[in-house]
Structure 1
């Protein structure tokens, strides 16, 4: 069943200064948008914004940007940010395929990829947000020694992503096949993660660090 398009979502987002409708204009000067030189952490596919908001609330010295394609989902992320009266977070409605056009060299210190589409068919694997195709885009703006924090419940995606990272000059700093039973204390639970953990799902997690730019 196809969800009805929320035509009211885009006008609501456009009315807020927390929504960046034309992010290309900020390429290389995102510190001016936030009015500080704090590190910027980027969430790819932020959905309804629970993860984004929790991070921004608990880390006021970090700037956060959440990206998602669907207005009807992203508008709820905006509402969470506004309700929390946050100024250290922004949302961008856009296709992640064009991510390299939005950020300049060394602008991003960390990327979060949480439960992205696993694209299991061989012909679709280059659409994975951890695939070499995307890692090469991230290298244009991720700082040297910058990190990608990746969570998934899909074993095939996780195992193949480990190889993508290794093949593209990333070192695996941390890795677990059961995030909720490994003692890692810095995890922020997403809405999806909370729901399916309660059903017995195991979350796989890694931190990949960029070592050199090829």
Structure 2
């Protein structure tokens, strides 16, 4: 999808360091201090316009949420949502997920959400997929023992690739749904992409996996 450039985005990001945390590496190992409470810490990689993370933070005030987004013209939409509905348990990072271990200490994170990640369908782009083994290695480092990864996608090929990649890496696939919105466990919390694809009648695939 082509991202519309927003020339004012950089200034807006700089104006709100209370939400989009500058120099996040300085909080490595100390994120709960920034939030001012001891609670499970969960991160969404590719938070997009912020619909999922704001809904999760509203529903689960007993948990802490950090949304990661590398596109400045996208993260400002998530920022606007958190300005309209300030949530003490939600923050954003304008960084690249490939550098995850620069920002989070070993075992600091309880859960990682991968929602509608770019499937990078061409074989030559496999290393860019967020479930490629180099990304999984970083997730394992920052997740606590038994910490989970939750993935949602509309792309069956990427879903199948992710299951195979996680299994080869030694992860346990704890839950699989081939039609998440028809599942008894569906919680009603969605992303912008999820709404778009679901309205077109496309099935949403979901899994939960963990390291042992």
* Structure 1 segments of 4+ aligned residues over 4 angstroms from their partners: 1-4
Q: TM-score, normalised by structure 1?
A: 0.94
Q: Summarize the alignment of residues 13-24 of structure 1 with structure 2, pairs less than 5 Å apart.
A: 13-16=13-16, 17-24=18-25
Partner SS state of residue 81, structure 1: helix
- Superposed, which structure 2 residues align to 1:26-41 within 5 Å? 26-41=27-42
Partner SS state of residue 201, structure 1: coil
Against the structure 1 CA distance between its residues 78 and 28, is the aligned structure 2 distance closer, same or farther, given a 3 Å change threshold? same
How many residues are matched? Answer: 211
1:7: which partner in 2?
Answer: 7
Partners of 2:167 and 2:144 in 1: how far apart? Answer: 17
Please state how far the C-alpha of 1:181 moved relative to its aligned partner: 1.5
* Contact 1:44–1:96 under 8 Å retained in 2: yes
RMSD: 1.4
Structure 1 residue 81: Cα displacement: 1.1
What is the distance in 2 between the residues matched to 1:190 and 1:182? 17
After superposing the two structures, state which structure 1 stretch, 106-115 or 76-85, moved more: 76-85
Q: CA deviation at 1:2?
A: 6.3
Residue 145 of structure 2 aligns to a residue whose secondary structure is strand
Distance 1:119 1:2, change over 3 A: closer
Contact 2:154 2:197 in 1 (8 A): no
The answer for the alignment partner of 1:88 in structure 2 is 89
With structure 2 as the length reference, what TM-score do the two structures score? 0.95
C-alpha distance in structure 2 between counterparts of 1:198 and 1:8, whole Å: 32
What residue number does 1:207 align with?
208
- Matched residues in 1 for 2:124 and 2:188: separation? 32
Give the unaligned 5+ runs of structure 1: none
Determine the C-alpha separation between the residues in 2 that align with 1:65 and 1:204: 23
